Homo-oligomer: A and B are copies of this chain.
Amino acid sequence: MRRLRPAHLLRTVDLAGTALFALQGGLTAAAAGLDVFGVLVIAFVTAVGGGIIRDLLLGDTPPAVFCDLAYPITAFAGGAVVVLLYTTVRDVPRDVLIPLDAAALALFAVVGAAKAIDHRMSPLLAALLGTVSGVGGGVIRDVLLGGVPLVLRSDVYAVAALAGAGVTAVGLRYGAPRVLVLALGAVVTVVLRLVAVWQGWNLPRVAG
């Protein structure tokens, strides 16, 4: 796996995103009535599922999450926090969770797109792969919990990831400075997502 530069900063932020996705996945699983083990499993797959799909599709195996112990440990730690402090975590207000989640989504989307460009994919496919990195964990979570993935039903979420990943992919493909492009892509995703939530934007249904 090629490291993005500045690698240490990105890895720290990446782990923060992993922790947050693990918290969310664990909360969803606990609310669905799963036991301790089920909560840990769902927290884990929510946090690392997107990256695993990304690396499988890139042929970059074993996936990064299986090569750096910090990722699974962080993912399980997020699940363990839910198990140990459920009533506290449950009460974290939505106004705190949503921006944090948007940040995690943005980070996974731009890192995924950058990794695809590093593997010489075209910008369109890199943008798709970045989106899959961002939303894949949540899709696996929802399928395992027996429902239609939220991302297919809810307000502008994957579209925000796609926009940020697209900006990143196009920028890197045409040689713009890496740090700048990644930051810009992340900002696009976060802003689009937060404005969508704030304004109650939803895409129209196709069938009336």
Interface residues of A (CB under 8 A from B): 26, 29-39, 41-42, 52, 56-59, 61-63, 66, 69, 72-73, 82-83, 86, 90, 119, 121-122, 124-125, 128-129, 139, 143-149, 152-153, 158-159, 202-207
B72 and A206 form a contact (CB under 8 A)? no
Copies per assembly: 3
Q: For the complex, what is the distance from the CA of A152 to the CA of B45, rounded to whole Å?
A: 12
Q: Can you give 27 A-B contacts (C-beta < 8 A)?
A: A31-B207, A34-B152, A34-B205, A35-B152, A35-B153, A35-B202, A35-B203, A35-B206, A37-B152, A37-B159, A37-B203, A38-B152, A38-B153, A41-B152, A41-B158, A42-B152, A52-B57, A56-B61, A57-B63, A58-B62, A59-B61, A62-B119, A73-B124, A86-B207, A90-B207, A139-B144, A144-B149
Known: A66-B121, A69-B122, A72-B125. A204 touches B35 (CB 8 A): yes
> In the complex, A32→B107 CA distance in Å?
31
Beyond the given A32-B148, A37-B159, A69-B124, please list 12 additional residue pairs across the A-B interface where CB-CB is below 8 A: A30-B206, A33-B207, A35-B153, A35-B206, A37-B152, A38-B153, A52-B57, A57-B62, A57-B66, A62-B121, A66-B121, A86-B206
The docked-state distance in angstroms from the alpha carbon of A165 to that of B178 is 41
Which listed residue (B33, B58, B72) contacts A61, Cβ 8 A?
B58
> Do B152 and A148 have beta carbons less than 8 Å apart?
no
A10 to chain B, nearest CB (A): 22
- 8 interchain residue pairs of minimum CB distance: A59-B61, A30-B206, A38-B152, A35-B203, A146-B148, A30-B207, A36-B203, A39-B206
Residues of B within 8 A of A59 (CB): 59, 61-62
Residues of B within 8 A of A205 (CB): 30, 33-36
Instruction: Choose one: B148, B159, B203; the contact of A145 (CB below 8 Å).
Output: B148
